[in-house]
Amino acid sequence: MLQLNDIHTYYGNIHALKGISLHIDQGEIVTLIGANGAGKSTTLRTISGITPPRRGRVLFEDQEINGIPAHNIVKLGISQSPEGRHIFPNLTVRENLEMGAFTRNDKQGIEEDMERAFNLFPRLRERSSQRGGTLSGGEQQMLAIGRALMARPRMLLLDEPSMGLAPVLVDQIFEIVQNINEQGTTILLVEQNALMALSIAHRGYVLQTGEIVLADSAAALRDNEMVQKAYLGIE
């Protein structure tokens, strides 16, 4: 469904991604794990067109999407829930969700997806007329994911969905991520909580300073000694 071939992405003169190649098949949850600064978020930004690569190819459903503006990539079926949530604090929950559907004009479909978001996140239904900036951290994370789903993506990019959340909310968010996947959405997940990410993913890639150093099934990565020491806190 998605292929990255020899991707090189830069921030000015900083070489952030150094020739990474990966693929994601339809229906999978694939996770990227690695330390801060490894290039995980940059990989998502490269796919979504926010930080286009200088070299290499990004293919989505066999179409090269290098150089396509980010809003048109959303129209093609890729949507991102960014690190740090970045909801619109002065808009209500409902208005935030409507912003996620800005590329669409199918009124009935938008209402159906609004209802889907409220079913996935009942707390958002209760807060639908509340301003986004007054929500708790967990509620804002639910809103960011719900907003991304309003684009009706076939592929969802999730960047650090558990960041800053209490453990009980982390479990809840990951249950919902699995639910979204079971409903047919392919997911690329970036997550500092590597143990949690590997518990729901099918496969994973380990990034170090802009390069992929390991790629395997999630189960094999959980059992890998280097991964255990570096990312799972197991000596």
* Domains within the chain, CATH numbers bracketed: 1-75+182-235 (3.40.50.300), 78-152 (no CATH)
Q: What are phi and psi of 78, to 5 degrees?
A: -115, 125
One pLDDT digit (tens) per residue for the chain, 235 residues = 999 999 999 999 999 999 999 999 999 999 999 988 899 999 999 999 999 999 999 999 999 999 899 999 999 999 998 886 788 899 999 999 999 998 888 889 899 999 989 998 898 999 899 998 889 888 898 899 999 999 999 999 999 888 877 888 888 889 889 999 999 999 999 988 899 999 999 999 999 999 999 999 999 999 999 999 988 877 6
Residues sharing a CB contact under 8 Å with residue 105, sequence separation 6 or more, in sequence order: none
Cα separations (Å) of 184 from 26, 154, 201?
9, 8, 14
Q: Please name every residue paired with 217 in a beta bridge, in sequence order, or none if there are none.
A: 203
pTM, two decimal places = 0.91
Q: Dihedral through CA 92, CA 95, CA 96, CA 99, nearest 10? A: -160
Single-letter residue type at 197: A
Cα separations (Å) of 225 from 34, 93, 233?
15, 43, 11
CA atoms of 53 and 49, how far apart (whole Å): 9
Q: What are phi and psi of 231, to 5 degrees?
A: -125, -20
Closest CA to 183 of 153, 158, 159: 153
